[in-house]
Amino acid sequence: PPDAGAETAQPREGRLAVVWGPHGAPGRTTVAASLAHGLARAGGSVLVDADVEAPSLVQVLGLPEDSSSLATAARLASHSRLDTESLVGLLVPVGPDHSLLSGLGRSGRWRELPPSPMADVWAGCREVAAWTVIDIAGGPLEDEVDDYTLEPGRDALAASLVRSADVVVIVGAADPVGVRRLLQLVTQFDETERPSGRIEVVVNRVRASAAGPSPERAVREALARFGGLEEVVLLPEDPVADQCLLAGCSVLDGAPGSALGRALAVLVDRIDPAAGARRTASRRRRRGFLRRLRDRRAERHSDRRSPTRPPAPAAGPDRGG
């Protein structure tokens, strides 16, 4: 028998973080991509595109379009053939300890992801990585069964994920329409639909042009007054998001020292402090500042070494005789 004082290492079960939000394009995919990149430092992460309406993580990360690995995993699970080895073979590497389970090619294929086999897929993801970040479609969830076929509805998968996830990240937009939609989504929870895990509310694209001269204070006051939401994470409007989209990378990967990158790092550390995303963003920011400072000094030094010559005097009329 083992010694009484011997400690046996127990495998740590991974956790699920679902990124959800109201209708529109508040930035759910942008937030999900950066969350998976930041949480990879806490023991590895798997990013899953479970958006049955408009899957786009393959395009956001600049990866070649291929068959849906998520649908393949669902088919294997429905035949009891999904194990850890087969699931790992379906993952597309994105970075160190960071991979992607690509979504459906078009919205009409949502029936390929029935909730019952997908439960085995999520269990496999929990074994593969410490965090699984799942991007789902936005809007209210109607978990209804078809009266004729008795099949789960279009929102059945998303509803089951929201109810059972460890963390639900609700992303809204920082304009009057976006804030109203966010408040309607958050305040409609009843006891059966309310997530069992922790809720993190995120407001994206905070800017003065849509929320007034003090946009951060205006958004916080509106959410606190009309929704009772005190703890929210605000993400500023930043052109670096478009630059990272063109480069095919997440914001925390391409520009962690930017204003948007630092705000996303705060969100990552709120979900899992072991990720240390703020330290990484601060270090990358100082490194970028020092690089720009060195470039300026080198430019000034080159200007001193090659001074410009004074212009030659213009030739006047010949007055000699």
Strand partners, 15: 131
Tell me the C-alpha to C-alpha distance, in Å, between residue 151 and each of 77, 90, 114, 176. Answer: 18, 27, 9, 37
pLDDT of residue 218: 96
Distance CA 94, CA 57 (A): 11
For residues 123 and 86, the answer to whether their CB atoms sit within 8 Å is no
DSSP letter (8 states) at residue 185 = H
| 5-14, 110-119, 188-197: range with lowest mean pLDDT | 5-14
pLDDT surpasses 50 at 253: yes
Question: What is the rounded average pLDDT for all residues in the chain?
Answer: 85
φ/ψ (deg, to 5) at 102: -65, 155
Question: Tokens at residue 41, please?
Answer: 């430092």
Distance CA 251, CA 78 (A): 36
**DSSP string across 302-313:** HHHHSPPPPPPP
pLDDT in tens, 113-150: 988 899 999 999 999 999 999 999 999 887 776 655 56
Distance CA 8, CA 131 (A): 23
pLDDT of residue 191: 53
Compute the average pLDDT of residues 96-101.
94
Name the pairing type of β-strands 98-101 and 92-95.
antiparallel
pLDDT of residue 287: 56
pLDDT of residue 200: 96
Confidence of residue 321 (pLDDT cuts 50, 70, 90): very low
pLDDT of residue 177: 96
Return the percentage of the chain with pLDDT > 90, whole number: 65
Return the percentage of the chain with pLDDT > 70, whole number: 81
